[in-house]
Chains A and B, each alone.
Chain A
Amino acid sequence: MPGFFRPTKHLKRKVHPVPSVHHSGSNGAIGSQSHPYPGQSSQNKSSWTEASRSSAAQETLRMEQLQESTANLDLQQVSSVCPINLLQQRNVPRVEPAAAPEPGLSTHLRKLNCCSDVFQCTLVNIPHTLAMLKQVKLPLGLIFQPFKDSREPPLLITDVPPRCTTCQTYINPFITFIDQQHWKCNACFSLNDVPGNFLYDPMTGSNCNPHSRPELQHAALEFMVPLEYQARRPRPVTYLFVFDVSYNAVETGYLGIVCKTLLENIDRLPGDSQTRIGFITFDSTVNFYHLHSSLTRPRMMVVADVDDIFIPSEDKLLVNLRQSRQLVVSLLEEFPVAFRETQKRQCAFGPALQAAQKLLKYCGGRVSAFLTQLPNVGCGSLQPREDPGDSTLGAKHFAPAIDFYKVLALELCGQQTGVDLFLLSQRYTDLASVACLPRYTCGYVYYYPAFHHIHSSALVEKLQLEFQRHLTRSIGYEGLLRIRYTQGLMLDTYYGNSFLQTTQMLSLPCVCPQAEFAFLMMIDGAVTESSFVVFQSSLLYTSCQGERRVRIYTYCLPVVSSLSEVYAGVNIAAMVGILSKMAVDRSVRLCLAYTRDELMRVLIDALVAYRVSMCSPKRSTFTIPRSLQQLPLYVLALLKQPAFQTDAAMSLDERVFTMSQLMIQPLTLVLRMVYPDLYKIDDYLNSESADNISLERGKETVKRPALVQLMAENLTLQGAFLIDCGNVLYIWVGRHCSTSFLDGVLGVTSYTSLPGTLTLLPILQNPASKLIQALLGSLRKERLYHAPCFIIKDDSTSRSVFIKRLVDDRTETAMSYYEFLLHLKERVCK
Chain B
Amino acid sequence: MAFTFVVFCYMLALLLTAALIFFAIWHIIAFDELKTDYKNPIDQCNTLNPLVLPEYLVHTAFCVMFLCVTEWLTLGVNMPLLGYHMRYMTRPIMSVPGLYDPTTIMNADILAYCQKEGWCKLAFYLLSFFYYLYGMIYVLVSS
Q: Which residues of A contact B (CB under 8 A)?
A: 399-404, 406-407, 410, 414, 440, 490-494, 499-505, 522
Contacts and interface: CB of A to CB of B under 8 A. Distances in A.
Nearest to B106: A500
A403 B109 contact: no
B108 interface: yes
B118 interface: no
16 contacts: A400-B93, A402-B93, A403-B94, A403-B95, A407-B95, A410-B42, A490-B108, A492-B108, A492-B109, A493-B108, A494-B106, A499-B106, A502-B40, A503-B35, A503-B111, A522-B108
Contacts of B106: 494, 499-503
Interface string B32-59: 0001010011100000000000000000
Nearest to B38: A502
Interface string B71-107: 0000000000000000000001111000000111011
Contacts of B95: 402-404, 407
B92 A502 contact: no
Contacts of B103: 406, 410, 440, 499
Nearest to A407: B95
Contacts of A399: 92-93
A500 B42 CA distance: 10
Contact of B104 (A404, A499, A503): A499
Among A410, A493, A500, A522, chain B packs the most CB atoms within 10 A around the CB of A500
B41 A401 contact: no
A-B residue pairs, 10 tightest by C-beta: A500-B106, A502-B37, A499-B103, A492-B108, A493-B107, A403-B94, A403-B93, A403-B95, A501-B40, A410-B42
A407 to B, nearest CB: 7
A501 B41 contact: yes
A434 to B, nearest CB: 14
Contacts of B41: 499-501
A45 B36 CA distance: 49
Contacts of B37: 502-505
Given A414-B42, A499-B106, A522-B108, A401 B35 contact: no
Interface residues of B, number: 17
A402 B95 CA distance: 7
Contacts, number: 50
A394 B9 CA distance: 44
Contacts of B107: 492-494, 500
Contacts of B35: 503
B84 to A, nearest CB: 20
Among A410, A440, A502, chain B packs the most CB atoms within 10 A around the CB of A502
A402 B96 CA distance: 11
A406 B103 CA distance: 9
A492 B40 CA distance: 18
Contacts of A499: 41, 102-104, 106
A522 B111 CA distance: 14
Contacts of A505: 37
A499 B110 CA distance: 14
Given A499-B41, A503-B106, 20 more contacts: A399-B93, A401-B93, A402-B95, A403-B93, A404-B95, A407-B95, A410-B102, A414-B42, A491-B108, A492-B109, A493-B107, A493-B108, A494-B107, A499-B103, A499-B106, A500-B107, A502-B37, A503-B111, A504-B37, A505-B37
A404 B94 CA distance: 8
B94 to A, nearest CB: 5
Contacts of A500: 41, 106-107
A505 B40 CA distance: 10
Contacts of B94: 403
Contacts of A410: 42, 102-103
Among B35, B92, B111, chain A packs the most CB atoms within 10 A around the CB of B92
Contacts of B111: 503
Contacts of A404: 95
A399 B103 CA distance: 13
Contacts of B102: 410, 499
Contacts of A401: 93
A503 B112 CA distance: 12
Contacts of A407: 95
A504 B111 CA distance: 14
Among B40, B95, B107, B111, chain A packs the most CB atoms within 10 A around the CB of B107
Nearest to A413: B42
B99 to A, nearest CB: 13
A401 B102 CA distance: 17
Nearest to A439: B103
Nearest to B93: A403
Contacts of A406: 103
Contacts of B40: 501-502
Nearest to A399: B93
A440 to B, nearest CB: 6
A489 to B, nearest CB: 11
Nearest to B110: A493
A505 B41 CA distance: 11
A500 B34 CA distance: 11
A403 B37 CA distance: 25
A500 B107 CA distance: 8
A505 B106 CA distance: 10
Contacts of A402: 93, 95
Contacts of A490: 108
A399 B101 CA distance: 13
Nearest to A406: B103
Nearest to B90: A395
A300 B7 CA distance: 71
A401 B111 CA distance: 25
Nearest to B111: A503
Contacts of A522: 108
A746 to B, nearest CB: 48
B52 to A, nearest CB: 15
Nearest to B102: A410
A499 B103 CA distance: 5
A440 B41 CA distance: 13
Nearest to B104: A499
Nearest to A504: B37
A402 B92 CA distance: 10
A403 B40 CA distance: 19
A503 B42 CA distance: 13
A800 to B, nearest CB: 37
B34 to A, nearest CB: 8
A522 B108 CA distance: 10
A491 to B, nearest CB: 6
Contacts of B104: 499
